[in-house]
Amino acid sequence: MADKKKMSVAEILAAARADGKAAAPGEAAGQSPPEATPPKSPEPAAQAPTASPAAPKPGSAGRPSVKDILAMARAKGTAAEPAAEAPAKPKPAAKASAAKTTGTPKPVADVAGPKKNVQRDTASILAAARSGARPGPVSKAAAPALAKPAAKKAAAKPPARSVPPRPARPAAAKPAKSTATEERRSILSYAVGSFMAVGFTALSVTGGLFSLGLARYFFPNVLAEPPSRFKVGSKEGFPAGKVETKYVAQYGVWVVNSDFEGMQQIYALKTVCTHLGCTPNWLEAEQKFKCPCHGSGFYKDGINFEGPAPRPLERYAIRIADDGQLEVDKSKSFQEELGQWNDPESFVTA
């Protein structure tokens, strides 16, 4: 098996030629599966004239080689085409035909040479080529008879390589005979058609209702989110220097009373690290905000001083509401690097 695999196409062709097997056409044709379709394209037929003077090589004692046979078969009629065009099995002889179909120009060039003895065996060759193909011009009954000489020769001189038996024609290839099934199918198709209509109607109605429900889902009755504006008590609750952390869990805000650029201010810092968005922790002992993700550190006033954070923490808007309480508004934020901390909305003077 393995050493056979290693034979190149050229070697196989040479071997086939030297043996001059008459069985080859039969083999090549026999290998073609019964499903092989009738001639598909006119191209091979157009090629045929160039191949028509095909003849066996002088050296092969008058016996036509595989290529020659195939070429002649092509030239004679399109009915033989399937044999050459059929997908070949990986048997050496079949490989030769495969090489042809894949378009190696060499065999064609060989065939085109001036050769004699053209008419010697054509009938048998043709019959052999046709025998495996779909019933073309030659009737089914006539084909075996025509193929006989080829078969006889194959029997007389068995090839070196084993030839598997020709596969049985599958039942599917036979034309359907009864029309009763057609009728039944048509009755069924009416029913199925209406089922389909019902099914698709139901599907679209369900889909529509589902989409409506999904749309409703985006407008919940109760919004669990805390409001973005909230009161945190009076100024007195935030003595100087204090960082109030009790609003972190619910609102994500530190309320700080601290000195910033010489002014005692109360401001609301957003608890989002400006590096990658983790929540830093307030470390009372070290008087700094420290991020657990990459170690960024911020002073009490929110200015970044260590680690990779590129800019200070952001502030939320804060004001004194009408009732005297401090009110934080998370819908507005102020960034120091853009000079927004000078905005009077960003702090309350303590």
Partner 1 sequence: MHSNGFFLSDVAGFLGGYYTFLAVMNGIAAVILWRQQQRAGWAMVWATFAGAMMILASLALSGSASMVPVLPAAVRGLVNQLSGPVLYTLGTTAFLVLLFVFRKFFVQPMVAWTVFNLSLLLLGLSMADENFAAIVMKPDNVPIVGLVYLLAFFTWVATKQAVVNDERIKQGLPVMEKVNDEKVLVWPDLVYTELICMVAVSAFLLVWAIFLPAPLEEPASSVKTPNPSKAPWYFLGLQEMLVYFDPWYAGVVLPSLVVFGLMAMPYLDFNKSGNGYYSIEERKFSYLVWQFGFFELWITLIILGTFLRGPNWNFFGPFEYWTPYKVEVLNNVDLPQMFWVQWLNQPLPRAPQDAGLLVQIGYILLREAPGLMVMGAYLVLLPPLLAITVFRGFYAKMGFIRYMVMANLMLLMLTLPLKMILRWTLNLKYIISIPEFSLNF
What is the contact surface with partner 1 in residues (CB under 8 A)?
Answer: 248-250, 252, 271, 275-276, 278-281, 283, 285-286, 290-295, 297, 305-308, 310-311, 337-339
> Closest CB to partner 1 among 251 and 260?
251
Question: Residue 271: CB partners within 8 Å, gap ≥ 6?
Answer: 248, 252, 253, 254, 279, 280, 313
CB of 283 to partner 1, least distance (A): 7
CB of 259 to partner 1, least distance (A): 19
> Closest CB to partner 1 among 172 and 338?
338
Helix (H) or strand (E) holding 107, with range, is: helix 105-112
CB of 330 to partner 1, least distance (A): 12
Smallest Cα–Cα separation from 117: which of 74, 73, 53, 66?
A: 53
CB of 160 to partner 1, least distance (A): 27
CB of 336 to partner 1, least distance (A): 9
> Closest CB to partner 1 among 61 and 249?
249
CB of 133 to partner 1, least distance (A): 36
Enter the tokens of residue 216. 């409703």
CA distances from 14 to 84, 155, 325 (A): 18, 22, 103
> Closest CB to partner 1 among 60 and 340?
340
Smallest Cα–Cα separation from 86: which of 14, 38, 138, 147?
A: 38
Burial class (CB in 10 A: 0-12, 13-18, 19+), 179: exposed
> Closest CB to partner 1 among 9 and 272?
272
Q: HSE on the CB side for 204, CA within 13 Å?
A: 5
> Closest CB to partner 1 among 65 and 304?
304
